[in-house]
């Protein structure tokens, strides 16, 4: 049985899964990118760029293109896209697999302060430091724009759009980063608190190691809850095995 796979991507895991499945005669894989980054890293194979128009638009795209299975390998904080994937696959009657990298875990020497949202991070920040390294993405800056008395070093891939904090320095950069580089950056700007999201993975863990080394507190936003009833895996290998099992079951 041949399978048409729609891979909702934009992450390193999605690119690696596309590469693992590329060139197989029994699979057609189309990777979808939301188009939020100006110069994204493209996966191998077919690519669909741009949105679908919500859950209804995604369901229509699935039907129109004969998609047999959808893999949601988007960012752990892409809650809207993940919700649309659940609704669309149910409406279209096709299976959905969620591929999510494991979240981060505290280690000895960490001073982590878990919060449920970006808004809660902004509320907690003034009590922990006055020079914040903000690594929550360019779209999060408006949440911190009204904070007085806090200076920000904000890092993103693309320039943010206003509103942004009055006292902010923007660093445009894309990971992976090194611990030595992160320590040097934090020392150069006298950072005394780090703000991040529990994105997981290895590409951006260096900032957490640097904060531990410098004894800097970390405000960390918890992930959105997973959708119940949807199968989840946390490795590219497990996702590929799941797809193989589905294809094999359909060929019997």
Question: What is the tens place of the pLDDT at every residue in 14-49?
Answer: 999 999 999 999 999 999 997 666 677 889 999 998
**pLDDT at residue 27, as a whole number:** 95
Terminal Cα distance for the chain, rounded: 8
Q: Determine the average pLDDT of the residues in 108-112.
A: 97
Q: Is residue 190 part of a domain?
A: yes
Let me know whether 209 and 195 are in one domain.
Answer: yes
- Contact present, 71 and 17 (Cβ < 8 Å): yes
- CA atoms of 105 and 110, how far apart (whole Å): 10
User: Bridge partners of 5?
Assistant: 29, 69
Looking at every residue in the chain, the average pLDDT score rounds to 93
**pLDDT at residue 243, as a whole number:** 96
Q: Determine the 3-state secondary structure of 151 from DSSP.
A: strand
Q: Determine the 3-state secondary structure of 41 from DSSP.
A: coil
Q: Is residue 107 part of a domain?
A: no
Let me know whether 118 and 215 are in one domain.
Answer: yes
Let me know whether 117 and 215 are in one domain.
Answer: yes
**pLDDT at residue 187, as a whole number:** 98
The pLDDT of residue 251 is above 60: no
- CA atoms of 154 and 195, how far apart (whole Å): 10
The pLDDT of residue 252 is above 60: no
Q: Is residue 136 part of a domain?
A: yes
Let me know whether 216 and 120 are in one domain.
Answer: yes
**pLDDT at residue 1, as a whole number:** 62
**pLDDT at residue 24, as a whole number:** 93
Let me know whether 213 and 164 are in one domain.
Answer: yes
- CA atoms of 137 and 161, how far apart (whole Å): 11
Let me know whether 75 and 174 are in one domain.
Answer: no
Let me know whether 30 and 83 are in one domain.
Answer: yes
Q: Determine the average pLDDT of the residues in 1-17.
A: 92
Let me know whether 155 and 196 are in one domain.
Answer: yes
Let me know whether 125 and 205 are in one domain.
Answer: yes
Let me know whether 152 and 216 are in one domain.
Answer: yes
pLDDT in tens, 54-96: 999 999 999 999 999 999 999 999 999 999 999 999 999 999 9
Domain of residue 81: give its range. Answer: 3-101+225-250
User: Bridge partners of 193?
Assistant: 132
Q: Determine the average pLDDT of the residues in 232-240.
A: 96
Q: Is residue 69 part of a domain?
A: yes
Let me know whether 196 and 233 are in one domain.
Answer: no
Number of domains in the chain: 2
Q: Is residue 65 part of a domain?
A: yes
**pLDDT at residue 37, as a whole number:** 62
pLDDT in tens, 129-176: 999 999 999 999 999 999 989 999 999 988 998 999 999 999 999 888
Q: Is residue 61 part of a domain?
A: yes
Q: Is residue 85 part of a domain?
A: yes
């Amino acid at each position: 049985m041949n399978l048409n796979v729609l891979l909702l991507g934009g992450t390193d895991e999605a690119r690696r899964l596309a590469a693992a499945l590329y060139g197989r005669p029994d699979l057609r894989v189309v990777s979808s990118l939301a188009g939020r980054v100006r110069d994204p890293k493209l996966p191998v194979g077919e690519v669909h760029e741009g949105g679908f128009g919500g859950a209804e638009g995604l369901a229509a795209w699935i039907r129109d293109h004969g998609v047999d299975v959808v893999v949601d390998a988007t960012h752990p904080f892409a809650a809207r896209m993940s919700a649309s994937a659940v609704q669309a696959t149910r409406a279209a009657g096709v299976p959905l697999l969620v591929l999510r990298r494991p979240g981060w875990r505290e280690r000895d020497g960490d001073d982590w302060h878990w919060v449920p949202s970006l808004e809660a991070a902004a509320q907690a920040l003034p009590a922990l430091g006055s020079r914040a390294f903000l690594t929550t993405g360019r779209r999060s800056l408006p949440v911190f724009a009204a904070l007085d008395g806090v200076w920000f070093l904000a890092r993103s891939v693309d320039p943010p759009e206003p509103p942004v904090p009055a006292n902010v320095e923007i660093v445009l950069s894309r990971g992976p980063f090194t611990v030595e580089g992160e320590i040097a950056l934090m020392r150069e700007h006298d950072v005394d608190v780090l703000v991040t999201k529990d994105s997981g993975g290895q590409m951006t863990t260096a900032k957490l190691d640097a904060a531990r080394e410098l004894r800097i507190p970390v405000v960390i936003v918890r992930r959105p809850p997973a959708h119940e009833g949807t199968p989840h895996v946390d490795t590219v290998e497990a996702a590929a095995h799941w797809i193989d099992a589905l294809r094999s079951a359909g060929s019997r």
